[in-house]
Amino acid sequence: MAMRPAYRLDTWLWLPLARPDVFEFFANPENLERITPSFLSFRVLTPAPIDMRRGTRIDYRLGMRGLPMKWRSEITTWEPPLRFVDVQVRGPYRHWEHTHVFQERDGGTFITDRVRYVLRGPGFIAPAINRLLVVPDLTRIFAFRHQALQEIFGAPGHAKAGPISISRARRRSRRQG
């Protein structure tokens, strides 16, 4: 059986704020609703407060292209205030792993997002689905996120946002299914 193609999204945002303050915002899953565009109809279903740590599972509801769905993620790495990783346990992707890294840089915080994902469905149509549907949606989502974070932290004009790059990922040694 042929391996399904994996994709990788990379982007960054620099905010003129201290790393502990920025990480504290991300450590509260309820803030996800504030940095997610309305076209996703995103809602956190897990009751607050959510104790963030390795192994924490969080349930969400969202709509992608008009289709309602549920998403469950698990925190697989939790290293405050340096980084954390969330992995989709249930949701629209065959595999989704989002790594968030927070670095002190130039008097502020440099946030790096790296997402590795594999689509569901027949592998031979994945490149077309990715190009026509997934890349435009993810680009809109992360562009909105950059803008929302700048506004929330009162940093428009002072923050710096990197490009949102989505490319074919290199194969890993373990199977992606």
| Digit-coded pLDDT (tens) for 115-154 | 999 999 888 899 999 999 999 999 999 999 999 999 999 8
Answer yes or no: are the C-beta atoms of 166 and 9 closer than 8 Å: yes
Residue 33 lies in a domain: yes
Helix (H) / strand (E) element for 26: namely helix 19-26
Q: Is the pLDDT of residue 108 over 60?
A: yes
pLDDT band of 2, cuts 50, 70, 90: low
Q: CA 5, CA 125: separation in Å to the nearest integer?
A: 10
Q: Residue 102 in 3-state DSSP?
A: strand
- 60 domain residue, yes or no: yes
- Domain residues for the domain of 135 are 6-168
149 in any annotated domain = yes
We report the CATH number of the domain holding residue 75 as 3.30.530.20
Count up the domains in the chain and report the number: 1
174 domain-assigned:
no
Residue 176 within a domain: no
pLDDT tens digits, one per residue of 41-73: 999 999 999 999 999 999 999 998 888 999 999
- Say if 58 falls within a structural domain: yes
In a domain, 1, yes or no: no
